[in-house]
Structure 1
Amino acid sequence: MDLILTLVSGIAWTVVYVEAIRVGLRDRTYAMPVAALALNFAWEATYSVRDVAVGISAQGVVNVVWAVADVAIIYTYLRFGRSELPEFVTRPLFATWSILVFGTGFAVQWMFLAHFGAHDASRYSAFLQNLLMSGLFIALYASRQGPLGQSLTIAVAKWLGTLAPTMLLGAMQDAPFILGLGILCSVFDLVYIGLLLRPRLARLRSLPAPSR
C-alpha cells in the first residue's frame, strides 16, 4: 500500500507540472501561483541535492524530475508574468521582486531544515506550502476572473497527488498535524475543482431537454 500511494502521488504531481507547462505556454501566462512555485522549486531543489548526496533513490530521482519541470514553469512566469502586473512594475522592478520571492522560498526551506531536521522538515514544509498553493489557486482564479492559465487536469491531479501522501503519512503513520493539513488541502482543492467545473455544469444545464 505504501508503494501504491507513493506512486499515485508521484505520477499525479508529475501530471500537474507537465500540464502547468503546457497550459502556461498555450495561454501565454503562468499556471502556478508564484509564491507556491517559489516554495516548490526551493523544496525540490533542496531535497534533490540532499538525496543525490546521500545516494540515488527513487524519490530522489522524482525530486530531480520535478525540479527540472519547475524550471520550465518558472520560465513561463518570467516570460509572461510581468504583463499581468500594473504598468509601474518595470522590468528591473519585476526582476528584483522575482529574486526576492524565489530567494525567500529557499530561505524558508532552509529554516525548516535547520529547525526540524531533514525528516520532519521535508514533510511539514511540503504540506504547509501545499495548503498555501491550494488557497492561492482559488485566489488566482478570482484575480483572473476565470480559468486563464488553469485547467481541471491540474486541479484534479493536485488533489489526488496530495490525498495519497495524506493517507500515507498522516493516517497510516498516525501524524495528526500532517493529516489535518492534508484534509484542509482537500477541502480547498475540491472548492477549486468546483470553480473550474462551473462553466461545464452551466453548459449542461443550458442544453435543451431531450424530447420524449
Structure 2
Amino acid sequence: MDLILTLVSGIAWTVVYVEAIRVGLRDRTYAMPVAALALNFAWETTYAVRDISVGISPQGVVNVVWAVADVVIVYTYLRFGRAELPEFVTRPLFAGWSVLVFGTGFAVQWLFLAHFGVHDATRYSAFLQNLLMSGLFIAFYVSRQGPLGQSLTIAVAKWLGTLAPTLLFGVVEDAPFILGLGILCSVFDLAYIGLLLRPRLTRLRSLPAPSR
C-alpha cells in the first residue's frame, strides 16, 4: 500500500509539472504561483540531493524527477514573469525580487529541517506549502481573470497527487495533523477544479435542447 500511494503521488505530481511546463510555454507565462514554486523547488532540490547521498529509494527517484521538472518551470517564470508585473518593475528589480523569493524558499526548508529533523520536516513543510499552493492557484485564476497558464489537468493531478500522501501519512501512519492539512488541501483543490469547470458547464447549459 505504501509503495502504491507513493507511486500515485509521484506520477500525479509529475503530470502536474509536465503540464505546467507545456501550458507555460504555450501561453508564454508561468503555470505555478511563484511563492509555491519557490518552496517546491527548494523542497525537491534539498531532499533530492539528500536522497542521492543516502541511497536509491522510490521517493528519492521521484524527488530527482520533480527537481529537474521544477528547473524548467522556474525558467518559464524567469522568462515570462516580468511581463505580468507593472512597468515600474525593471529587470534589476525583478531579478532582486526573484532572488529574494527563491532564497526564502530554501531558507524555510532548511529551517524546517533544522528544527524538526528529516522525518517530520519533509511532511510538515510539504503539506503546509501544498495548502499554500492550493489557495494560490485560486488567487491565480482570480488575478488573471480566467485560466491563462492553467489547466484542468494540472488541477486534477495536483488534487490526486496530494490526496495519495494524505492517505499514506494521515491515515495509514495515523498522523492527524497531516490528515487535517490534506483535507484542507482537498477542499481548496476541489474548489479550484470547480472554477476551471464552470465555463464548460456554462457552455453546456447554453446549448439548445435536442429536438424530439
Any idea what SS the aligned residue of 1:208 has? Answer: coil
- Distance in structure 1 (CA, Å) of the matches to 2:74 and 2:3: 30
- Structure 1 residue runs of 5 or longer lacking an equivalent are none
State the partner residue of 1:17: 17
State the partner residue of 1:175: 175
- Distance in structure 2 (CA, Å) of the matches to 1:188 and 1:54: 35
After TM superposition, the runs of 4+ consecutive aligned structure 1 residues lying more than 2 A away are none
Q: How does 1:84-99 map to 2 (within 5 A)?
A: 84-99=84-99
- Distance in structure 2 (CA, Å) of the matches to 1:195 and 1:67: 29
State the partner residue of 2:111: 111
Cα deviation, residue 65, structure 1: 0.8
State the partner residue of 1:43: 43
C-alpha deviations, 1:162-211, integer Å up to 9, x for none? 00100110011110000000000000000000000011001100110011
Any idea what SS the aligned residue of 1:50 has? Answer: helix
Aligned length: 212
Deviates more, 1:123-132 or 1:4-13: 4-13
Cα deviation, residue 17, structure 1: 0.1
C-alpha deviations, 1:91-142, integer Å up to 9, x for none? 0000000000000000000000000000000000000000000000000000
- Distance in structure 2 (CA, Å) of the matches to 1:30 and 1:97: 16
Partner amino acid, structure 1, of 2:145: Q
- Distance in structure 2 (CA, Å) of the matches to 1:176 and 1:139: 27
- Distance in structure 2 (CA, Å) of the matches to 1:66 and 1:162: 14
State the partner residue of 1:186: 186
C-alpha deviations, 1:52-79, integer Å up to 9, x for none? 1111222111111100100000000000
Partner amino acid, structure 1, of 2:5: L
State the partner residue of 2:204: 204
Partner amino acid, structure 1, of 2:84: E
C-alpha deviations, 1:27-57, integer Å up to 9, x for none? 0000000000000000000001110111122
Cα deviation, residue 4, structure 1: 1.4
- Distance in structure 1 (CA, Å) of the matches to 2:20 and 2:134: 15
Q: How does 1:22-37 map to 2 (within 5 A)?
A: 22-37=22-37
Q: Percent identity?
A: 90
- Distance in structure 2 (CA, Å) of the matches to 1:157 and 1:198: 18
Deviates more, 1:162-171 or 1:57-66: 57-66
- Distance in structure 1 (CA, Å) of the matches to 2:119 and 2:3: 18
* Aligned alpha-carbon RMSD (Å): 0.5
TM-score by length of 1: 0.99
- Distance in structure 2 (CA, Å) of the matches to 1:171 and 1:2: 11
Q: How does 1:155-166 map to 2 (within 5 A)?
A: 155-166=155-166
Any idea what SS the aligned residue of 1:80 has? Answer: helix
